[in-house]
Amino acid sequence: MTFRSLDTADLAGKRALVRVDFNVPMDGGQITDDTRLRSALPTIHFLSGKGAKVVLLAHFDRPKGKRVPEMSLKPVAGPLSDLLEQPVAFADDCIGAAAQAVIDGLENGGVALLENIRFHAGEEKNDPAFAAELAKNGDLYVNDAFSAAHRAHASTEGLARLLPAYPGLAMRRELDMLDAALGTPVKPVLGIVGGAKVSTKLDLLNNLVARLDRLAIGGGMANTFLAAQGHPVGSSLCEHDLGDTAREIMAKAAASGCELLLPVDVVVAREVKPGVATRTLALDEVGDGDLILDAGPKTVERLLAAMDASKTLIWNGPLGVFEVPPFDIATVAAAKKAGALAEAGKITAVAGGGDTVSALNHAGVADQMTFVSTAGGAFLEWMEGKTLPGVKALEV
């Protein structure tokens, strides 16, 4: 993939339309987590510092093409101004006279936030006429919202066809890290895929077994593979109807030379609640009323050894019900090992997906990983080998 670089762009006095992800969690009109605002700061500072007029485009929630006052982006302008340490003008529409007046009022280096682009139905429909109206507000386009790159919307795909298009700094770092993990990685490459259900990650598993050297499968989805091998899983979460699918994935892994690391022992209990009595069992010792809720110590030991033998790690999904201790033991042990290896420069460790980010934060190692993507759906679709429209549109 080849992209234009902002380093070579003539920015002074130019209107830079920047797609950001400001779909932040709110409670009573107050932002409860400003991570997404902070991720946009480097690109905004860069453009502003080069004398561009920075015009921010973002969505909030799902107004479905109608103006919903509770879904206005206006409450974001103040906190963003505080983080930037400079004024942020707000326009109560993203197109037309209201937007143009605010943008015309910007000095070079100034920043404006436009109202929720999803107040217009043309955004999610990728309507060319709406994209053209947006394009009137800019001289160049910057996409800094990888988390929205799997959507072919007017502000993520349509605009990139109408103006000189660039990836922002956060977008570029994400793409570079993802390429290092799965595009052109240093081998051997180990993947960890966990979570509840195989059915939600079929495309992911089929893509990874064809590309990785080893793939560890954990969480509830591992039970489906164990059952497909004839092991008892008791009352555990298990998609028994996907036995044939699991066996096909195992066969594909074998044919591709990808070693599958499935649990060799498990931690069980009779109910899911903190501090409940647990037992560690061999696979064939699981009884009818047992719930498999975490990977056992031998499984963890084997996974840690696989990390030691790898140069690249890509991780999506926990190994157990980590939200309910003591079923976080395997996930925390693996996370701490990955963080230590990454911090020591012995492995490139890239992780992503909502549960994964929560698990790494729970283990206290998110800052030690090489890169943690908060992109959710876009990260998963990229791992599945799918083309992301918002990224494709930036290529030159």
- Can the peptide bond before residue 188 be classed as cis, meaning omega within 30 degrees of 0? yes
Cα gap 343→369, rounded to integer Å: 7
How long, in residues, is the chain? 396
Q: Exactly one of 51, 65, 234, 354 is catalytic; which is it?
A: 354
Give the contacts of 206 (CB within 8 A, at least 6 positions apart): 249, 252
197 is catalytic: yes
Return the closest-CA partner of residue 55 out of 118, 117, 124. Answer: 117
Of the candidates 14, 36, 214, 337, the residue annotated as catalytic is 36
User: Which residues are registered as beta bridge partners of 142?
Assistant: 18, 166
Which of 336, 377, 385, 386 is labelled catalytic? 377
Residue 354 annotated as catalytic: yes
Here the tokens at position 378 are: 């876009």
Annotated active-site residue in 74, 197, 211, 302: 197
- Positions annotated as catalytic residues are 36, 197, 354, 377
